[in-house]
Amino acid sequence: MSAAVMHPFVEALVAGGRTLPASTASWLNTRRAAALERANALSAPTPRDEEWRFTDLAPLNRLRVVPAAAGASVDVAPFTVSEAGVRLTFVDGVYVPALSSPGALAAGVTVGTLAETLKTKPALIEPHLALHAGFDQQLFTALNTAWLRDGAVVHLAKNAAPNVPLHLLYIATQKDSASCPRSLIVAESGAQGTVIEDYVASGDVADTAYFTNAVTEIVIAPNARLHHVRLQRESAQAVHIASCAVSLAKDASYVSQSIAFGARLSRYNLDVTHQGEGAEAVIDGLALISGQQCADTHTTMDHVRPNGRCTQLHKTIVGGSAHAVFNGKVLVRKDAQLTNSAQQSRNLLLSPNARVDTKPQLEIFADDVKCAHGATVGQLDADQLFYLKSRGIADTQARNLLTFAFGAEIVHRIPVKSLVARLERAVMTQTQAG
């Protein structure tokens, strides 16, 4: 493919990336420059690329966006999580201290911005930042990395265990803007914690388009445990593209629930690598979409070392003319003997024009492993509907109940009570509307 066709969003971000002021850390400048060079060279994916086979980027390619300026003040009240011990708020990708709440943190817990951590504790981030989320062939990660100037840093020192969730809130407020949120989460050995990553929209972007291009890197050291809750509640016209790279060391544990409600077009790449022996991952996903929405989730579970475990449950509820895509790759490398990896993709179609494309994928190069995947696509179970109706529950209500129950299975795995309650309401509203 030639680089001749450069879509406006790429052009805008590449041009903007060039004008970014240099960082004081030379290593960061080097990594940024390398990413900028790749972003400039790579062309935007098309449905001819296997990884983008089902997802049409046309809504994004049409978009004329400018890199977001510093954000205006917004009301964060609707987005706060009462249990959270700390909240970092970024408006259009820029940190806003006034909207953040630092909280009192347990010893060994660092939650701050990239800019600040670069000044105070650069040693915490240098070994990780931009080294886990590959950008050699990934245009969107390259664009984000080229734009790396600020972002959230969560660092849990050895054996640190904040007993409250840490909240990273990204708010989009400007129409026709492009922002590149960035997060780095590091759990040193024996540490454990819960991080909520939350993408929302506020103000005048409710019905207009904008582009969020997020990248998150998560590093979990031996015996550390991290629970990662990811919410994507962008506005109805937004384009949300995100990548998350997770690296697990020996006996580390990663649990994640990612929920996608919003955006006209969303894509989430979750790449989990078991770099150490005996690592464990639990990956759950829920996409609840309707209208013209398209939600695409791609996961890669890479078992590199022996004795790894992984269970995945991905659900979609698709109404209107919406389109859900799931691609789950499980890769078991030669040395990853005794791996146990299971994956489920469950898809519920609610309307005649809804569409689902799912592709669970196994690539196995070790002989002593247990791997399984399953995929189902269907509508609500007729017997279950009949059962409810025979007990006097109206058809619509019965349908809503069953749809709700289908989605609630994932929501209930989130360990933050107020969030569960809020998401339950959202699922309820959406199922009733759909």
Q: Which residues contact other proteins (rule: CB under 8 A)?
A: 50, 54, 334, 337, 347, 349-352, 354-379
Q: Give whichever of 376 and 397 is closer to other proteins, judged by the CB atom.
A: 376
Q: How far is the CB of 269 from other proteins (least distance, A)?
A: 18
Q: Give whichever of 228 and 346 is closer to other proteins, judged by the CB atom.
A: 346
Q: Give whichever of 288 and 349 is closer to other proteins, judged by the CB atom.
A: 349
Instruction: Report long-range pairs for 69-73 (Cβ below 8 Å, ≥24 apart).
Output: 69/174, 69/177, 70/94, 71/96, 71/171, 71/173, 71/174, 72/173, 72/174, 72/203, 73/98, 73/99
Phi, psi dihedral angles at 243 (to 5 degrees): -130, 145
Q: Give whichever of 132 and 329 is closer to other proteins, judged by the CB atom.
A: 329
Q: Give whichever of 220 and 349 is closer to other proteins, judged by the CB atom.
A: 349
Q: How far is the CB of 371 from other proteins (least distance, A)?
A: 4
Q: How far is the CB of 214 from other proteins (least distance, A)?
A: 28
Q: How far is the CB of 361 from other proteins (least distance, A)?
A: 5
Q: Give whichever of 157 and 364 is closer to other proteins, judged by the CB atom.
A: 364
- Report strand pairing: 323-332 vs 66-67: unpaired
CA 163 to the chain's CA centroid:
23
Q: How far is the CB of 10 from other proteins (least distance, A)?
A: 26
Q: How far is the CB of 86 from other proteins (least distance, A)?
A: 42
Q: How far is the CB of 357 from other proteins (least distance, A)?
A: 5
Q: Give whichever of 192 and 347 is closer to other proteins, judged by the CB atom.
A: 347
Query: In the chain, what's the furthest Cα-to-Cα distance?
Result: 70
In angstroms, the CA 6 to CA 12 distance is 10
Q: Give whichever of 159 and 400 is closer to other proteins, judged by the CB atom.
A: 400
Q: How far is the CB of 141 from other proteins (least distance, A)?
A: 24
Q: Give whichever of 173 and 343 is closer to other proteins, judged by the CB atom.
A: 343
Q: How far is the CB of 363 from other proteins (least distance, A)?
A: 5
